[in-house]
Amino acid sequence: MRYLTHLGGTTATLLPGLVLLFIPTLRDVGAAVLIANASSNLIVQVLKRWVARPRPCDANGRPLALVPLPDPFSFPSGHATAATAVAVTLSLAVPSLAALLLPLAVLVAASRVTLRVHHIGDVLAGAALGMLAALLAARLFML
C-alpha cells in the first residue's frame, strides 16, 4: 500500500495530463485532466485549512501515520481527490480505461486509510470532490 498511495501524489497525477497535452488529437483530454486535478486540489487545500480536521492519532495525540504527512490536516484526502479526478476524466475520454483506472483510484483511497493518514470520511469526500471536478472539466473541455 505504501507504493500504491503514491499514484495519488502530485507527480503521478500531473504526468498523464502533461503527456496528453503534447498529443494533438488528445490535447483537450490533457487539458481536462489538468484542470480537474488543479481545480480539485485548490478546493482540497482551502477545505483542509478551513475544516482543520486532525489526522488519525493515538490517545496521546501522536499521529498514527505509517508514511510521512504532507500537512497536519486530514479532510479531505488530496490523494483520493487527485486519483479520482484523473481516473474519472480519463475514463470519460477513453471508456475502455475505466476498468483499470477506477479500481486504481479506489485502491489509492483505501491506501490512505490503511496507512493511517486519513479517516474513511476524508477519502470518501475526496473521491466525491475528484469526481465532481472531473465531470465539470470533461464538460468544459471534452464534450
Give the residue from 67, 44, 83 showing the smallest Cα distance to 117: 67
Contact call for residues 35 and 82 (beta carbons, < 8 A): no
> Mean pLDDT lowest for which of 10-19, 67-76, 101-110?
67-76
pLDDT tens digits, one per residue of 73-105 = 999 999 999 999 999 999 999 999 999 999 999
Neighbours of 53 (CB within 10 A): 16
**pLDDT of 116 strictly over 80:** yes
First to last CA, the chain: 35
Paired residues of 6 in beta bridges: none
pTM for the full predicted model: 0.92
pLDDT tens digits, one per residue of 52-61 = 998 887 667 7
